Chains A and B, each alone.
Chain A
Amino acid sequence: MALFLNLQTVFLLALMHFSTYRTGSSEYLVYPPESINVSIRSDEQCLDIQWTVHLHNYTLNLKMIFQIDIYRSTLSNTVENKNYTTTLKSNETLQWCWHSVLPLECTSHFVRIRSMVDDERFPESRIWSSWSPPVVSKGQESSGEFHIFPNDIMYAEEDSSVTFCCISRTDNDKIEFFYEDRYMQGIKLSSRTTMFEVKNVAFVRRQGSNAYCKLDSSIDGVVLYVGGVLEEPKDFSCQTRDLETLNCTWHPGRDTLLPEHLPNNYSLFEWFSQKKVNCVHRNWCAWQLAPDMQDTYNFTLMAENKLRKRRTSTFFNVNQQVQPKFVGEISIENVDATEATLRWQIIPNQKNLTFLCQIEVYDNEKGIEYNTSNSEFTLSGLQPYTAHSVRVRCCIASHFWKWSEWNSKNFTTKEDTPSGALNIWRIVEPVSGGYNVKIFWKPLPTFQANGKILNYSIAMETLGKVPKVDIFFSDSDSNSTEKIIDEQPYQISVAAINSAGSSIPSVIVVSGNTEKSIQNIKEDRVNGTRDGIYLSWKPDSEETESYVVDWCNYPWDAICDFQWQKFGSNITSAIIRSAAFQSGVRYNFKIYGLSTKHEPYLLAKKTGYTQELALDCKPEVTVDNLASTSLTLNWKDNCTDEPQYGFFKGYHIYKKPEVEEPCDSETEKQVFSDNIVVCMYTVSDTKQKTFNVKKLQPNSTYSFEVKAFTGGGDSLAGIIKVTTGTHENTNLMMTIILPMALFSLLLIIGLNLKIQWVKEKCFPDIPDPYKSSVLSLMKFKGNIHQAILNTSDCIPDAIEVVNKPEISKTQGLRTILVGNEITTPAYLYLLPVGKDALDSQACICFENFTYCQAASDSGSCSQNQMIPTDQMMSVESSEHLLKVDKDYIRPFGNTPAGEEVSLNYVSQLAPTMSGDKGNSSPNLPEPAHCSEYKMQMVIPAGLALSFPPEGDRPISVASLDQLEKPC
């Protein structure tokens, strides 16, 4: 074989030898293009170039390159230079289409082609042929007509650029171009042709965008349809339901928005069978299968429109892409109380296919799932007399592709005898001669009724000495019955009956003793919760089988909707819930124990609300006993402890001062939502209708609100605004000043009673010189007022003169005190010598120092005023006198010599409390307190004291007119 091929090649080469050019010493193959034809395909804007190559038969399958040059308008304007490679075949016309941006009608295009053998067998022949003569595709610029190109309709994808050209009739006509009313500038291609480019075109409307050229009044235009880019179909898949028809679906992507007459076309091509189907719909297509001929398929989905083509493929075995389908409905057979049989038919029913079927059965409460590979299935364990819903779906077991749709059907099982026992309870009310017994029962739930309940049988058997059984029936609609019994206990049995039989009877023993015990049990209050009302009870004896709580849903109604709830013996608390419970309604609960002998006995009584409400009342408030710091609030109301609202617990009194003040310890601070702070008093006694408010601020305004309160809050408020009075001074006086006044009065009275004592202590009498014993000793000549006391007449016990001797010498008569070289201070004491030394009148003492000066120092007035009369006392007094400032005994004649002194000071006044009041001069100032200085008097110079130099005793002499005045 190889030898044959080699010989063939040699033969061909030998033949080719005769068709080669011979240039000089070299030889090569040249096949220039011939019969070049150029035409315009306007719809595609394609310049269709066709040419041939004259080949000998022996040059078949020769590889060649063709170089194609395309010029626009002139041969100097190259717009394309293309190398086109091909393997030549016999008598083949070569063809290549050049897509032009500029419409090909706009101007002439020139095409020239040259060729070169590009075959490995002839490497020496890789020489270009000469260019073919240019072939022209004439444009319309010379037509002499006004045109726009492209004409009429064109298509473009969004965001692409589109080029138009306008051709005028004559040279240099003024042409305007508008795209959607937008004037656009063009590029002059020739004297008659202008090119316009619109970039990034956008979708404007389904009816296309208008582009037009305007030359004077002539208009020529084109409608540009802008569409979205055709997307590649997604999720392309095929499946069959019956192995006869294949259904292929895909997601076409977004709408291209091209006009309706330019739809996107979809087609299916199958490679093995080489069949093609044009799809009617844009997202699915049907394909007829040949089941026995072909299992494997290779499909290509092609999507195309004027602008773009897209394609996608899928390859599959059709037997693995089967979604089974039911034929008709499933059938249900042999239905009894607990069983039923299902049957169905499914396609494709080829023998080589096995299915897996899923069965779901639902009754009112639950669903059960079964699996089977058969086409029938028996359901068991069904609930009697119950509506069931069954549904079935299947898939191919060997290769899962998709489930079939659900095939559903409903059926109802037949009746069975009721299971379980009725839940029964009773109310026993005493009547004359016995008790009225109401027996209640709750209908059996569906899962226990097992059929339609026809009626209820009630059997009443006496437990007394005389056995007696009474059986009667109640309608299926009823849930209670009523019977009057005598004093003896009864055993009552209740059973539900349907067409299949009777339920287990429920038993309860009824006697009057239970109700007698009700009065002895105190009712407790309980609190409600959001869910219901919480109850708890103490566990009872071991014989307690269960507990029962009963109540009325509508306690205020004649038909109170009696309810009960049973609890196991190990439960001692529960939250009682009911949809009928309402806020503000008081519910009463009785808790019973149920003995093993089915005899109930009362354990506890409870009352409470799910949620208390505020009372619907409003206290009317008045104020009494308004004072500056307190007041009394009184109120009247109709607030009572009614079961419609809540447990009435008392009153809240809110004190709201106009000017904020802190709450005292008796109140509770309350901050309302609007940040108002008030003080709250709580009155726990619901019968108390008055309240004293204390610790108020005087002259302040308060708002008081009185509200009745329950666990649900406050009622409406009785409001009163009060302003307290001003501060009570009289009270203060009464409490503070009055006792002080009384004390002062008592003090004054006491002092008056002891005035003599006080006087003696504080204000001793100043000795009256006229009453002095000295005078009695003296021999007065003439008027007493003119009497001169001679010291010689007086027998002094001791005289001590304290003065400076020089003063006495130099001052002469003007010297008040004269001493003989006495260096010590001068004191003059006139000490009585008489028998009655204690008699104050016995001796006159002249003092010349400030009265009571020493009082401030000594703290006692008596020490410096009283002149002691005995020796002992004189010594003490003399010592005391040493303390007196010498200035007070300074002589008032202490003036310079020669000066005429008209006035002289004499001694200070004595207090008025002295014993000689009657002699006091009215001209003299009132004496001040004993501790003060005494006002000095002015006396004429003639009356000035003169001290006659009699002996060595300086004496002090004063006018009696002055001396009679108290010192």
Chain B
Amino acid sequence: MWARLRLSSLFGLTCGLLWLCPAAGSTCPVYQTLLCQLKNMAKKDFLKAFMTDQGLNSPHLNETCTGSSDFPVTETLKDLPPVTFLQTVSQTVRLIEQKLNEPVFKRMHIYLQGIDNNVCCMLQALLPAPAACPAPASRRTLSPTPTVGSFSWKLERCKIIQSYQRFMEAVGKVLETWGASPGQRNRKRRSLLNVLLGQRRKVRAG
């Protein structure tokens, strides 16, 4: 998509750049502040509030919110290089935004955008170029959405939020290992390709 934007008009390029980095127009906080903010934001619990609002905080329904997640887990994230890690976080957050694009999740949406902005700023700290922010996730064709407010809708949204929660928990754990300055990380890094290949192997083996 990025390539397509570059081939389009200059206007389109400008717009694309602005879209790529929503925080580009504003001044980013220092790295330590960003890191601290991201760690705190990763701890925010949306699941409990959603379940309470929807009446799903019942022992019979708790299990229905849990399920397999499509998002990377801690083991996957901790081996990613910082830039890749942040880009993965950004893409995942945007995907969740897309899935929860309903008025009832308006506040959560704003919060997710804040996370995305902070991730973008962190990427700028790591890669001092405007293009550091990840490209917007392509608008996936999501599976048919149940009627808003229906029981199946409640369960499905519950599962999405629960997945997000687990993902952000993993993100928080990774961020805890990050040092006070950009690039300070005492962990062995692997490329995203290696990580994905490893994950694929695990799935096949499993």
Contact = CB atoms under 8 A, between A and B. Distances in A.
A223 B154 contact: yes
B69 interface: no
Given A204-B55, A205-B55, A208-B55, A223 B60 contact: no
Contact of B63 (A180, A205, A217): A217
Contacts of A217: 63
A237 interface: no
B150 A223 contact: yes
B55 A207 contact: yes
B102 to A, nearest CB: 10
Contacts of B58: 178, 181, 210
Contact of B151 (A180, A205, A223): A223
A209 interface: yes
Given A180-B55, A223-B154, A208 B149 contact: yes
B151 A222 contact: yes
B147 A219 contact: no
Nearest to A211: B151
Interface string B110-154: 000000000000000000000000000000000000111111111
A180 B151 CA distance: 12
Interface string B158-182: 0000000000000000000000000
Contacts of B18: none
A601 interface: no
Contacts of B149: 153, 207-208, 223, 225, 259, 261
Nearest to B151: A221
B60 A219 contact: yes
| Chain B CB within 10 Å, residue with most, of A207, A208, A214, A217 | A207
B146 A152 contact: yes
A212 interface: yes
Interface string B34-71: 00000000000000000001111011110110000000
Contacts of B152: 152, 221
Interface string A191-226: 000000000000011011110101001011111010
Binding site secondary structure of chain A: strand
A210 B154 contact: yes
A207 B151 contact: no
Given A178-B60, A181-B58, A261-B149, A205 B53 contact: yes
A177 B60 CA distance: 11
Nearest to B103: A260
Contacts of A210: 54-56, 58, 61, 151, 154
B147 A153 contact: yes
| Chain A CB within 10 Å, residue with most, of B60, B148, B151, B152 | B151
Contacts of A259: 149
B8 to A, nearest CB: 38
A152 B151 contact: yes
Interface string B95-114: 00000000100000000000
Contact residues on B (Cβ < 8 Å of other chain), bracket: 20 to 34
A844 B53 CA distance: 151
A207 B55 CA distance: 8
B162 to A, nearest CB: 15
A1 B153 CA distance: 69
Nearest to A221: B151
B84 to A, nearest CB: 37
A208 B147 CA distance: 14
A181 B146 contact: no
Contacts of A180: 55
Contacts of B61: 210, 212, 219
Contacts of B55: 180, 204-205, 207-210
A55 B150 CA distance: 46
| Chain B CB within 10 Å, residue with most, of A178, A209, A221, A225 | A221
Contacts of A214: 60
Given A152-B152, A219-B60, A219-B64, A207 B147 contact: no
A246 to B, nearest CB: 33
B151 to A, nearest CB: 4
Contacts of B148: 261
A207 B64 CA distance: 18
Interface in B6-41: none
B61 to A, nearest CB: 7
Interface string B69-92: 000000000000000000000000
A172 to B, nearest CB: 22
A181 B60 contact: yes
Contacts of B154: 207, 210, 223
B63 A152 contact: no
Nearest to B152: A152
A15 B142 CA distance: 66
B145 to A, nearest CB: 12
Contacts of B59: 181
Contacts of A204: 55
Interface string A239-277: 000000000000000000001110000000000000000
Contacts of A153: 147, 149-151
Contacts of A205: 53, 55
Contacts of B155: 219, 221
Given A181-B60, A217-B63, A219-B60, A207 B54 contact: yes
A208 B154 CA distance: 11
Contacts of A220: 151
A259 B53 CA distance: 13
A212 B53 contact: no
| Chain B CB within 10 Å, residue with most, of A181, A214, A222 | A181
A202 to B, nearest CB: 13
A212 B151 contact: yes
Interface string A496-515: 00000000000000000000
A261 B103 CA distance: 10
Contacts of A222: 150-151
Contacts of B153: 152
B150 A207 contact: no
A211 to B, nearest CB: 8
A834 B167 CA distance: 173
A259 B64 CA distance: 24
B53 A152 contact: no
A204 B63 CA distance: 23
Nearest to A217: B63
Contacts of A152: 146-147, 150-153
A181 B58 CA distance: 6
A210 B150 CA distance: 9
B106 to A, nearest CB: 12
Contacts of A261: 148-149
Contacts of B53: 205, 207
Interface in A839-893: none
Contacts of A208: 55, 149
Nearest to B148: A261
B155 to A, nearest CB: 8
A178 B150 CA distance: 16
A359 to B, nearest CB: 52
A217 B63 CA distance: 9
B50 to A, nearest CB: 10
Nearest to B150: A152
A260 B61 CA distance: 25
Contacts of B151: 152-153, 210, 212, 220-223
Nearest to B54: A207
A636 B155 CA distance: 95
21 contacts: A152-B150, A178-B58, A180-B55, A181-B58, A205-B55, A207-B53, A207-B54, A207-B55, A207-B154, A208-B55, A210-B151, A214-B60, A219-B64, A221-B151, A221-B152, A222-B151, A223-B149, A223-B150, A223-B151, A225-B149, A261-B148
Across chains A and B, which 4 residue pairs bring their CB atoms closest together, nearest first? A152-B150, A221-B151, A181-B58, A153-B150
Given A152-B150, A178-B60, A207-B149, 19 more contacts: A152-B151, A180-B55, A181-B58, A204-B55, A205-B53, A207-B55, A210-B54, A210-B56, A210-B58, A212-B60, A214-B60, A219-B64, A221-B151, A221-B152, A222-B151, A223-B150, A259-B149, A260-B103, A261-B148
